[in-house]
């Protein structure tokens, strides 16, 4: 893996981030979000939204990691559901609500029903995650006590099993048709953000040259979570099964906070240690991102431009070229790069 093509020298890290959804991308700036979807008729539908301002205590180190994780989970789930709903409406204008949906709307109102469905989806996702990636590994490894009671090997094996389960899960779903397209949009998101952070005009031609891997990706965050959990669990020894499950759940906020700080550092630093720590997450991104086509890049570009327009920015202070950026891309082959024309 050539890290010089991922940690691009001279690139200016920004607050621009995103998430791939069904046939589109949600981009997130400092105060606004934009959801851009490719509709069946070939057009691109854009919806913008506001980002709630966090309270001061939620911006403290470690705490902000937990807040960001919960916010990303709720917002991301909502955007994923919204993309599916918009595409369904575009394909079938005569869609009829189910009895359950009518009951929810009557009980909570249209907006309340939508919030209810989002939070239920988040809870189900969390229960699945806890069951498969926390409870299952430690319960399975508990059987190893028949062969050894060495605390080091028990914790080590649990960590390996947890990571393998996650990687196998991601690898397995990558073969699903819809998920494969989501992963292509994920690649488009990364390429476009790379292009944006290098101060180039956002065109498919410019974006195409950049890698699909990005050091600030949420996939890398999840890998940091597993690695930090791997280390912290050693400090707890090997108590009985119930205490292990409870202790691992109680450690989750600390693990999320530490992982977030490490991810922020990775996104801003050119440090060799950071690059080494980022390698596992970058390899996992090779599964969760695929090479996009130009139509998918157009959607990602539309999403970023919509965020900038919604924030009323002609030129975000985050995206101003670093002085060292002028010669940053001399190693990238290809057609002449177009400098960004700020609207």
Segment 6-62, tens digit of pLDDT: 777 667 778 888 899 989 999 988 888 999 999 988 999 999 988 887 788 878 888
Task: Please count the structural domains in the chain.
Answer: 1
CB 29 within 8 A of CB 318: no
User: 73 or 10: whose pLDDT is higher?
Assistant: 73
Query: Does residue 325 belong to any structural domain of this protein?
Result: no
Q: How far is CA 76 from CA 21, 63, 83, 115, 294, in A?
A: 8, 20, 11, 13, 24
Tell me what pLDDT residue 156 has: 92
At 110, the pLDDT band (50, 70, 90 cuts) reads: low
Only one residue has tokens 């028949």, namely 146
pTM score, whole prediction: 0.80
Query: Does residue 276 belong to any structural domain of this protein?
Result: yes
Q: What percent of the chain has pLDDT over 70?
A: 84
Query: Does residue 322 belong to any structural domain of this protein?
Result: no
Query: Does residue 320 belong to any structural domain of this protein?
Result: no
Owning domain of residue 173: 3-139+148-314
Dist CA 60 CA 257 (whole Å): 10
At 313, the pLDDT band (50, 70, 90 cuts) reads: low
Dist CA 288 CA 298 (whole Å): 20
At 325, the pLDDT band (50, 70, 90 cuts) reads: very low
Tell me what pLDDT residue 329 has: 43
Only one residue has tokens 């911006």, namely 59
* Beta-ladder partners of 198: none
Q: Which two tokens stand for residue 18?
A: 């995103």
Tell me what pLDDT residue 243 has: 92
Q: Is the dihedral of CA 199, 19, 191, 269 positive or negative?
A: positive
Helix and strand element counts for the chain (H, E): 10, 4
Q: Produce one character per residue of 297-321: b if its CB has 16 or more CB atoms within 10 Å, e if not.
A: bbbbbbbbbbbbebeebeebeebeb
Query: Does residue 67 belong to any structural domain of this protein?
Result: yes
- Look at 89-98, 192-201, 203-212, 330-339 and tell me which has the smallest mean pLDDT: 330-339
Query: Does residue 294 belong to any structural domain of this protein?
Result: yes
Q: What percent of the chain has pLDDT over 90?
A: 35
For the CA atoms of 251, 255, 258, 259, the dihedral, rounded to the nearest 10 degrees, stands at -170
What proportions of the chain, in percent to the nearest 5, are helix, strand and coil? 65, 10, 30
At 343, the pLDDT band (50, 70, 90 cuts) reads: very low
Only one residue has tokens 């990636």, namely 133
At 328, the pLDDT band (50, 70, 90 cuts) reads: very low
Tell me what pLDDT residue 101 has: 67
Query: Does residue 204 belong to any structural domain of this protein?
Result: yes
Query: Does residue 328 belong to any structural domain of this protein?
Result: no
pLDDT beyond 70 at 195:
yes
Mean pLDDT of 177-189: 92
CB 166 within 8 A of CB 133: yes
Tell me what pLDDT residue 31 has: 86
pLDDT single digits (tens) 218-247: 888 888 888 898 889 888 888 899 999 999
pLDDT beyond 60 at 270:
yes
CB neighbours of residue 279 within 10 Å: 14
Indicate the average pLDDT of the chain. 82
């Amino acid at each position: 893996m050539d890290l010089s093509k991922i940690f691009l020298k001279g690139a200016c890290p920004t607050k621009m981030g995103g998430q791939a959804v069904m046939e589109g991308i949600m981009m997130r700036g400092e105060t606004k979000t934009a959801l851009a979807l490719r509709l069946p008729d070939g057009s691109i539908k854009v919806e913008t939204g506001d980002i709630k301002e966090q309270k001061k205590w939620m911006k403290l180190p470690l705490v902000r990691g937990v807040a960001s994780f919960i916010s990303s989970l709720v917002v991301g789930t909502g955007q994923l559901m919204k993309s599916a709903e918009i595409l369904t409406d575009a394909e079938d204008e005569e869609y009829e609500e189910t009895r359950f949906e009518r009951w929810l709307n009557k009980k909570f109102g249209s907006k309340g029903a939508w919030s209810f469905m989002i939070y239920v989806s988040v809870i189900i996702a969390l229960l699945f995650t806890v069951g498969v990636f926390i409870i299952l590994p430690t319960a399975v490894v508990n059987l190893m006590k028949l062969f050894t009671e060495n605390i080091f090997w028990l914790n080590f094996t649990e960590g390996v099993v947890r990571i393998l389960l996650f990687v196998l899960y991601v690898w397995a779903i990558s073969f699903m048709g819809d998920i494969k397209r989501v992963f292509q949009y994920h690649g488009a998101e990364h390429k476009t953000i790379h292009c944006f952070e290098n101060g180039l005009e956002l065109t498919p031609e410019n974006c195409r040259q950049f890698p699909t891997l990005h050091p600030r990706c949420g996939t890398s965050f999840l890998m940091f979570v597993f690695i930090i959990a791997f280390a912290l669990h050693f400090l707890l020894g090997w108590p009985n099964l119930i205490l292990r499950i409870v202790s691992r759940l109680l450690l989750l906020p600390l693990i999320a906070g530490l992982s977030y700080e490490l991810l922020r550092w990775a996104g801003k630093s050119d440090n060799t240690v950071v690059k080494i720590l980022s390698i596992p997450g970058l390899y996992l991104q090779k599964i969760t991102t695929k090479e996009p086509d130009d139509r998918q890049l157009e959607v990602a570009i539309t999403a970023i431009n919509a965020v900038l327009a919604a924030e009323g920015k002609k030129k975000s202070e985050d995206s101003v070229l670093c002085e060292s950026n002028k010669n940053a891309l001399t190693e990238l082959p290809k057609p002449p790069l177009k400098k960004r024309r700020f609207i």
